[in-house]
Chain A
Amino acid sequence: MSSWAERLENPVSARLRDPKLTGIAGIVLGVFAAFLAIPPIQARAILWPILVGIIAALFGIWTVTRGRRRLGYGAVATGILGIGLGILATRSSVSNLNAVFDPSLIAQMFVFSTPLTFAAIGGMFSERSGVVNIALEGMMLLGAFWGVYAADKGGSWVVGILAGAGVGALIALVYAFFAINLRTDQIVGGTAVNFLALGITGYFFVQLYHGNYIPQGVSEIPNLRIPGIADLHFLGPAIGDLNIMIWAGFLLVVLSYFVVFKTPVGLRIRACGEHPRAADTVGIDVYKVRYACVVLSGILAGLGGVYLSDGEGSGSGTFVSNMTDGRGFIALAALIFGNWRPAGAFGAALLFGFSSALALRLQVYSASAATLFNVLPYVLTLIAVAGVIGRTVPPAADGKPYKKQ
């Protein structure tokens, strides 16, 4: 440990002197402190979380004194939280800990985070181009119902995926027409789409399935079993047998990062979201870009919905009325929490997915506490928009209708 601290004190390169690095290291250590007593490490002595947590807090203080106040305080807070959770974990029974923290928790985190990832990345495209999308919830819900319907009637999950994406695109097209051409207030329009989706899916679920359930044996989106990894001790249950949509989600994050930040197309999208007048002046068709982005957001949110109903989201090949149950809004929260960036949104989706997976398992301790645990994503996002730890800043023209001259 001391050699690492020395290296920070006497850095080999100028880059290491950046207090940002210490702050991040402090946060990582703080999180680590909470996980010391948990499988696979299972350090049962109470000393370890305290020690690591204190080091994390010290890193934080060092960062604060070097001018990075928010990051530093964040690291201090994480360190203290890490000590608390770590101590709790060492005092909990081993069997309970094993029930909560087995490697499949990681797989379950991905199960919960993937619909959020798809919708949040979709929302990012829309909002980066300047159209607020609080209709993600509705787009997801429509994708979920029509996706599983198509998979049922079409006999193949591929049809389901196509239908989910298609219906997402269709409702997004309607939304785009109102938001872009008619310059409807985008919050009002988005709210309308959410109501419509709730009504349409509920209506046709009753009409087509009598509101009961989708019959058994619907073609489901399959898992991808990776031969080498699936049999490994820890990695196997964690990532060896994940749904193909989860892998598609990873790919989507990487791809969208490159598209948005490394290509001319991405530059155009961001220009429309930051300063549409300027974009228009240099010959970018703002309407066309915004249309494309909103439709893309509908497609992605629809895919997230199909994963929910026909993947392994909340049971395979099923649908229940109002199935998304606020997931579209969690995706929106992830997008904001991740500061309108693909990696940030993905990270936030993972965090929220992890908290959902954990909430499900915390029921071995207390059903009541597990329920309350669900507020975490929303509280974190509220703190993020309040600017306590690093303000989030939306694109400048986000939500502002643009009028061509």
Chain B
Amino acid sequence: MTGIDPKSSLPESPEEASETGTLAARISLKQRGGGIVVPALTAVVAFLMGGLVVLATGHNPLLAYHDIFDGAGLNWVFHPTTNLASTAAYNLSQTLLQTTTLILCGLAVAFAFRCGMFNIGGQGQYFVGIIVANWLGVSFASMSPLPHILLCVVAATVAGALWAGIAGFLKATVGAHEVISTIMLNWIAIWVAEWLFGDGGPLQNSSNPSVPVSNDIADSAKLPVFWGQQELQGLHVGLFVALGALVVFYLLLNRTTLGYEVRAVGFNPDAAAYGGINVRKNLIRAMAISGAFAGLAGALDMLGYLYHEGQNDIPVSSVGFLGIAVALLGRNTAVGTGLAALLFGALLFGTTHGLNSTVIQPELAGNLTYIIQGLIVLFVGADVLILYLWNSRRKLRRSRPPLPAREPA
């Protein structure tokens, strides 16, 4: 795109790589240093280490992973059917349900990353989306379906954008680090949600005041289900919205002035400012767009299959945090985020509700997901290590004289 051979700008050593300032610049280096190979390797190593934990605690890791694979419904590809009476098909539909959410939560992290910011507040923005979608979905019950759905989705998306925009605004105006402010905003959103849906809260259900759960949204606000039945948590059309969001993410970043400015600020804010780009405006804008993705995730979950939110569900939810792993593993690209979301969606459902195993209990396997997630994030973050290995391989190849007889095996 820049007209320069990407290989020529590849750093010669990890030292050189780490000198190039911002997070986004380092990430872009990583991207050039290995394409899909590195994230795939990262995931494999994380799964291997997770398997070691399983082995060490006296379970067979191969059988365990096999059961998780089936639990996620990925064995559906061997016997494809649209009939949800088949366990594989049902599990796959549930995995895709999780994938929908994770794509959007991943994009929420990825977009800010491309502007050089770490949006750790996806969870809070997601809950803001949940709250607004539930509130509007329960109210206005007399609306006709399409306007009602649009109202809920747009309002929740805007609310998520505003919530994240606070962090962007604070960074742009007073220089408050976005990590600190998004962590605080997360917990504020979580406690406000617990208050709203909890005992005596404004959004608690009107029928049974002893149960800390919200009202169900009106039927007119429920998203159409295209695979399965609404009552049985079928797959809703939000999946296509999420896939569309991937395309929007790609086009916005790579084909618009806005995206160009966002990426320029991400690579080097000083250079961007010198080039006449309003850095502050872009910081706020990138954060708001990030939050919009997470808010949209909340709206789709609420309108698509949750329909209500309980106080006790709030601390258990971790999709916003999983979004971090999704974005990092997906290298903050559209395609990568989509694939990583599928992987984590499969893990999330395959290790918990979908798992039917004699080898490993769902309670154990569910925690295995966190372990694998942690390992992936840990290794993905270690770009210098990866770059170092990658470059030493390149150097090895380059320094070797091109003698066919000494070609390595």
Residues of A within 8 A of B (CB): 132, 134, 178, 182-185, 187-189, 191-200, 202-204, 206-207, 211, 322, 325-326, 329-330, 332-333, 336, 366-368, 371-372, 374-375, 378-379, 381-382, 385-387, 391, 394, 401, 403
Contact with A along B183-205 (1 / 0, CB 8 A): 11101101110110011110000
CA distance A185 to B385 in the complex (A): 12
CA distance A150 to B191 in the complex (A): 33
CA distance A184 to B23 in the complex (A): 10
- Which of B176, B325, B363, B382 interacts with A387 by CB under 8 Å? B176
Shortest C-beta distance, B18 to chain A (Å), equals 5
Q: Is the CB of B367 within 8 A of A199?
A: yes
CA distance A184 to B383 in the complex (A): 7
Q: Is the CB of A200 within 8 A of B183?
A: no
Q: Is the CB of A192 within 8 A of B381?
A: yes
Q: Is the CB of B184 within 8 A of A193?
A: no
- Which of B192, B201, B381 interacts with A178 by CB under 8 Å? B381
Chain B residues within an 8 Å CB radius of A178: 378, 381-382
* 15 further contact pairs, Cβ within 8 A, besides A197-B374, A372-B195, A386-B181: A134-B179, A188-B381, A192-B378, A196-B370, A199-B369, A203-B364, A203-B370, A325-B315, A368-B199, A371-B199, A385-B174, A386-B170, A387-B176, A403-B15, A403-B18
CA distance A191 to B373 in the complex (A): 10
Chain A residues within an 8 Å CB radius of B187: 326, 329-330, 375, 378
Chain A residues within an 8 Å CB radius of B184: 333, 378-379, 381-382, 385
Closest to B167 in A: A382
Q: Name A's interface SS.
A: helix
Q: Is the CB of A203 within 8 A of B181?
A: no
Q: Is B177 in contact with chain A by the CB < 8 A criterion?
A: yes
Chain A residues within an 8 Å CB radius of B53: 200, 203
Closest to B369 in A: A199
Q: Is B57 in contact with chain A by the CB < 8 A criterion?
A: yes
Residues of B within 8 A of A (CB): 15, 18-19, 23, 26, 53, 57, 118, 120, 170, 174, 176-177, 179-181, 183-185, 187-188, 190-192, 194-195, 198-201, 315, 321, 324-325, 328, 361, 363-364, 366-378, 380-385
CA distance A368 to B361 in the complex (A): 36
Chain A residues within an 8 Å CB radius of B321: 191, 195
Shortest C-beta distance, A267 to chain B (Å), equals 25
Chain A residues within an 8 Å CB radius of B181: 382, 385-386
- Counting chain A CB atoms within 10 Å of each CB, the highest count among B26, B194, B367 belongs to B367
Q: Is the CB of B368 within 8 A of A372?
A: no
Chain A residues within an 8 Å CB radius of B380: 188
Given contacts A188-B328, A403-B18, contact A378 B188 (CB under 8 A): yes
Q: Is the CB of B382 within 8 A of A184?
A: yes
Q: Is the CB of B200 within 8 A of A367?
A: yes
CA distance A378 to B189 in the complex (A): 10
Chain B residues within an 8 Å CB radius of A322: 315
- Across the A-B interface, the 6 shortest Cβ-Cβ residue pairs: A199-B370, A196-B374, A195-B374, A199-B371, A368-B200, A188-B381
Chain A residues within an 8 Å CB radius of B180: 332, 336, 381, 385
Q: Is the CB of B378 within 8 A of A193?
A: yes
| 8 A-B interface contacts by CB (under 8 A) | A184-B383, A188-B324, A194-B374, A198-B374, A329-B187, A368-B198, A381-B180, A385-B170
Shortest C-beta distance, A337 to chain B (Å), equals 10
Q: Is the CB of A193 within 8 A of B195?
A: no
Shortest C-beta distance, A53 to chain B (Å), equals 27
Tell me the number of A-to-B contacts counted with CB atoms below 8 Å. 160
Shortest C-beta distance, A87 to chain B (Å), equals 23
Chain B residues within an 8 Å CB radius of A134: 120, 179, 183
- Which of A187, A198, A375, A387 interacts with B179 by CB under 8 Å? A187
Shortest C-beta distance, B352 to chain A (Å), equals 12
CA distance A211 to B363 in the complex (A): 8
Closest to B202 in A: A368
Q: Is the CB of B195 within 8 A of A207?
A: no
Q: Is the CB of A192 within 8 A of B195?
A: no
Given contacts A184-B383, A378-B184, contact A200 B371 (CB under 8 A): yes
Q: Is the CB of B374 within 8 A of A368?
A: no
Q: Is the CB of A185 within 8 A of B23?
A: yes
CA distance A381 to B381 in the complex (A): 28
CA distance A200 to B57 in the complex (A): 12
- Counting chain A CB atoms within 10 Å of each CB, the highest count among B200, B315, B325, B381 belongs to B381
CA distance A103 to B158 in the complex (A): 47
CA distance A199 to B367 in the complex (A): 5
Given contacts A199-B367, A199-B373, A202-B366, contact A372 B188 (CB under 8 A): no
CA distance A207 to B363 in the complex (A): 9
- Which of A189, A199, A374, A382 interacts with B381 by CB under 8 Å? A189
Given contacts A206-B363, A367-B198, A374-B191, contact A385 B385 (CB under 8 A): no
Closest to A174 in B: B378
- Counting chain B CB atoms within 10 Å of each CB, the highest count among A202, A378, A379 belongs to A378
- Which of B57, B200, B377, B382 interacts with A191 by CB under 8 Å? B377
Closest to B173 in A: A386
CA distance A372 to B193 in the complex (A): 9
CA distance A7 to B298 in the complex (A): 59
CA distance A375 to B127 in the complex (A): 15
- Counting chain B CB atoms within 10 Å of each CB, the highest count among A194, A199, A366, A374 belongs to A199
- Counting chain A CB atoms within 10 Å of each CB, the highest count among B120, B190, B371, B375 belongs to B371
Chain A residues within an 8 Å CB radius of B382: 178, 182, 184, 189
Shortest C-beta distance, A396 to chain B (Å), equals 13
Chain B residues within an 8 Å CB radius of A367: 198-200
Q: Is the CB of A182 within 8 A of B385?
A: yes
Shortest C-beta distance, A191 to chain B (Å), equals 6
Q: Is the CB of B198 within 8 A of A371?
A: yes
Shortest C-beta distance, B20 to chain A (Å), equals 12
Closest to A381 in B: B184
